[in-house]
């Protein structure tokens, strides 16, 4: 506490050193700024307004931040224009200066004694405050507020996939798996090429299914392994799915590969080692030699998907509004005209990075994985109708193979 009082005294001395010389001057030079200076100041403020509009158009700031910054600049501009023409210049009284010099410290000490908390300076109390952690209720309230802000983002502002991923991870850590699943779906929709996020999403969906890795979790971690064959979590989940299906040799292969990628000596590596031994024991009980399982190559997952980017041709940009709907779809090159997979996005998100696969299929009978060649198309609809209408803006690829690589698709035509 002694250190506090010494620091307070030094600060008061510093304040007096800064204030008293100005008060003790015989004359205050307080002339009005020249017109040129005022004009220069206003010019700077106009430049700041222009920069704010540019940042908003680029998505660097949101609408609330734009409005707040503009109101501050407008206030400063009014102050420039309404500055008094002449400031009163008089000699300062020595008596006034010394009276203020004594009043400032006394007033500060009095206010601290009335409003402050001297007990908070006690080292014991300081340690107790430092050790305080947010309660679960406080954490939940913060996450709920964060979710509400993401839901309230204006339609003309680009959504933030990292923010949605952070929300999903927060919900998963709180074991609120339905909410985490919803947030991950949005995050994956915005950033379908993130292997780690797909693996994390698979884990959450498995928890919703009673820790079963079959079905949707398998589709998610398979997509992750196509994007990154060495993704540690996806490999671990693939081993769990294989073990659940009693494909013990595959489980050994996936988990063994994951073992080599896990940090040595970590709890995760120890868990993988235990899982590998359990799978090998199951192999022995099934009459399969563990040596045969170790010799087999790790399964390679073939992508039954199409990844790419959709953009607008320069000639079409003036015909599109941010709220228009963009449909991205794949259909069989020869066969049914019904889409095998489809995504729905906003025109404000263009150019759009997309992934079409069996998880985006409209029917279990018609999936990308069941057709060798497909055509990928994109359509901008002002009505939001899934059926093509005259005047829609369209683009289409030549026939391609699923998993054949990144596709570049340009919307450059008009629906007759």
Please, are residues 94 and 25 in contact by the beta-carbon 8 Å criterion?
Answer: no
Whole-number pLDDT of residue 90 = 42
Q: How far is CA 287 from the centre of its chain?
A: 49
Per the DSSP assignment, residues forming a β-bridge with 414 are 393
Distance CA 340, CA 332 (A): 7
How do residues 296-336 score in pLDDT, each as one tens digit?
555 544 456 788 899 999 999 999 999 999 999 988 887 67
Residue 416 contacts by C-beta under 8 Å, 6 or more apart in sequence? 390
48 versus 168: the higher-pLDDT residue is 168
DSSP assignment, residue 260? H
Which of 30-39, 73-82, 177-186 has the largest mean confidence? 177-186
C-alpha torsion 168→172→177→183, nearest 10: 0
How do residues 357-370 score in pLDDT, each as one tens digit?
877 776 666 777 77
> Could you tell me where in the chain the CATH 1.25.40.10 domains are found?
140-295
SS (H, E, C) 364-399: CCCCHHHCCEEEEEEEEECCCCCCCCCCCEEEECCC
> Could you tell me where in the chain the CATH 2.60.40 domains are found?
306-414
Residue 55 contacts by C-beta under 8 Å, 6 or more apart in sequence? 61, 66
336 versus 28: the higher-pLDDT residue is 336
Q: Is the pLDDT of residue 84 over 50?
A: no
CATH architecture of the domain with range 306-414? Sandwich (2.60)
How do residues 200-240 score in pLDDT, each as one tens digit?
999 999 999 888 898 899 999 988 888 888 899 999 999 99
Q: Which fold has domain 140-295?
A: 1.25.40
Closest to 409 measured CA to CA, from 307, 305, 341, 309: 309
Distance CA 355, CA 188 (A): 10
Token match 């729905």: residue? 344
Mean pLDDT of the region 1-11: 54
């Amino acid at each position: 506490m002694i250190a506090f009082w010494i620091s307070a005294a030094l600060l008061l001395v510093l304040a007096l050193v800064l204030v008293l010389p100005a008060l003790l001057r015989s004359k205050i030079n307080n002339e009005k700024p020249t017109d040129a200076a005022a004009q220069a100041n206003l010019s700077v403020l106009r430049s700041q307004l222009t920069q704010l509009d540019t940042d908003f158009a680029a998505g660097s700031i949101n609408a609330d931040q734009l409005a707040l910054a503009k109101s501050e600049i407008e206030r400063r501009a009014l102050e420039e224009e309404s500055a008094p023409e002449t400031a009163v210049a008089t000699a300062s009284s020595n008596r006034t200066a010394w009276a203020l010099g004594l009043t400032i410290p006394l007033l500060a000490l009095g206010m601290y004694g009335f409003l402050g908390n001297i007990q908070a300076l006690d080292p014991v109390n300081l340690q107790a405050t430092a050790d305080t952690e947010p309660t679960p209720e406080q954490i939940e309230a913060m996450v709920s507020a964060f979710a509400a802000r993401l839901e309230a983002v204006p339609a003309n502002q680009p959504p933030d996939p990292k923010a949605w991923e952070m929300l999903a991870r927060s919900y998963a850590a709180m074991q609120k798996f339905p909410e985490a699943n919803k947030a991950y779906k949005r995050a994956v929709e915005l950033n379908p090429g993130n292997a780690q996020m797909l693996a994390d999403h698979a884990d959450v969906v498995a928890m919703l299914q009673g820790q079963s890795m079959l079905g949707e979790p398998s589709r998610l971690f398979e997509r992750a392994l196509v994007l990154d064959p060495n993704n540690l979590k996806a490999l671990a989940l693939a081993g769990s799915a294989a073990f659940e299906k009693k494909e013990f040799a595959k489980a050994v292969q996936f988990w063994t590969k994951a073992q080599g990628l896990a940090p040595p000596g970590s709890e995760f590596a120890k868990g993988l080692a235990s899982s590998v031994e359990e799978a090998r024991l199951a192999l022995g009980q099934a009459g399969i030699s563990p040596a045969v399982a170790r010799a087999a190559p790790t399964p390679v997952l073939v992508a039954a998907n199409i990844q790419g980017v959709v953009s607008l041709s320069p000639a079409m940009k003036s015909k599109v509004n941010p709220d228009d709907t963009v449909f991205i779809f794949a259909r069989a090159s020869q066969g049914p005209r019904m889409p095998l997979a489809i995504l729905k996005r906003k025109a404000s998100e263009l150019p759009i990075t997309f992934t079409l696969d069996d998880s985006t299929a409209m029917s279990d009978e018609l999936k990308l994985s069941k057709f060798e060649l497909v055509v990928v198309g994109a359509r901008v609809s002002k009505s939001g109708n899934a059926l093509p209408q005259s005047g829609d803006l369209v683009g289409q690829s030549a026939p391609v193979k699923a998993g054949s690589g990144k596709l570049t698709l340009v919307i450059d035509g008009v629906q007759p």
